[in-house]
Amino acid sequence: MKITIVSPDLYTYGSMVIGGILRDAGFDVTLTKNVDASPNADIILLSLYSTLHLLDNRIRDFASQCSKPIYVGGPVSAYPDIVLGELDVDAVVIGEGEESTLEL
């Protein structure tokens, strides 16, 4: 399974750790900062470290135009209702992604 982790503008520690865990589990993982591309993946993990990302039109457009399942994680997951209300995504990973990502 191909998984793309999108960490807008900079690679966060969490996105790199999640990528390593998934790669170690045998997944084909790509980590990118680019929210303007259309990833060739089965699943998209969107790592957001600020609620300001919810106002970023590039991120909003990416989420609404992507045809693949998108799961949001990172510090914004503390506010799942806000994330789900602002972005067209499939789910918000609550808590430590290191513990739950393999279950997705």
* pLDDT bucket at 104, cuts 50 / 70 / 90: confident
Average pLDDT of the chain to the nearest whole number: 92
Per-residue pLDDT of 47-78, as tens digits, reads 999 988 899 999 999 999 999 999 999 999 99
Domains of the chain by start residue, with CATH? 2-103 (3.40.50.360)
* Predicted pLDDT at 82: 94
% of the chain with per-residue pLDDT over 70: 100
Q: Which residue, 35, 34, 42, 82, is CA-closest to 63?
A: 35
CA quadruple 13, 15, 16, 18: dihedral, nearest 10: 120
Confidence of residue 45 (pLDDT cuts 50, 70, 90): very high
